[in-house]
């Protein structure tokens, strides 16, 4: 059994002190030649990101750093030397504290479902039930931001 909690869009991000953070409007094409931190294009998030560039009729940038580690991506972007695309929730939950800024870039609405999968005909443990209830409460604000 599967339950979708929310649909996760990507957002373009830079460090809060980056020159891009002060702009009111940015076209994705303006960022193409910037140093990027991105997941490998042959990974699930990388394929979704590839589609964002292709839908905008843009060649995907050659990333300066390729990683699946969100923590590494975030730490490099915070320096202000890199830009990237991250799931909105990663920025929404800790972005301002961490020094990330969502850039005012219109992206193609490329979303991926985030949810819970449970094995059919299996009883959920009380602890798993508490975790699932907590997850549902935590993601409520994400649904409002659609």
Integer distance in angstroms from the first to the last C-alpha of the chain? 24
Report how far residue 69's alpha carbon sits from residue 48's, in angstroms, rounded to the nearest whole number.
Answer: 16
Q: What is the pTM of this model?
A: 0.79
pLDDT digits (tens, 9 = 90+) for 62-104: 999 999 998 899 999 999 999 999 988 888 876 666 789 999 9
Pair 11, 102: CB distance under 8 Å: yes
Per-residue pLDDT at 76: 95
State the residue for tokens 């649909």: 7
pLDDT digits (tens, 9 = 90+) for 101-133: 999 999 887 777 888 998 888 999 999 999 999
Per-residue pLDDT at 103: 96
Query: What average pLDDT does the structure give for the chain?
Result: 89
In the chain, domain spans = 8-113, 116-144
Per-residue pLDDT at 1: 82
Tokens for 140?
């409520």
Helices vs. strands in the chain: H and E counts, helices first: 5, 6
Tokens for 38?
């991105």
pLDDT digits (tens, 9 = 90+) for 32-54: 999 999 999 999 999 999 999 99
Reported CATH class of domain 8-113 = alpha beta
């Amino acid at each position: 059994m599967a339950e979708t909690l929310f649909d996760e869009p990507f957002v373009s991000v830079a460090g809060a002190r980056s020159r891009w953070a002060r702009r009111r409007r940015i076209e994705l094409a303006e960022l193409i030649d910037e140093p990027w931190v991105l997941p490998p294009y042959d990974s699930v998030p990388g394929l979704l990101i590839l589609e964002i560039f292709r839908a905008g009729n843009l060649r995907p940038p050659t990333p300066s750093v390729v990683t699946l580690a969100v923590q590494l991506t975030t730490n490099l972007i915070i320096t202000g030397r890199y830009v990237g695309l991250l799931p909105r929730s990663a920025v929404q939950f800790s972005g301002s504290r961490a020094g990330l800024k969502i850039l005012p870039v219109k992206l193609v609405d490329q979303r991926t479902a985030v949810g819970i999968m449970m094995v059919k005909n299996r009883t959920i443990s009380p602890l798993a039930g508490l975790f699932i209830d907590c997850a549902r409460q935590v993601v409520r604000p994400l649904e409002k931001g659609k």
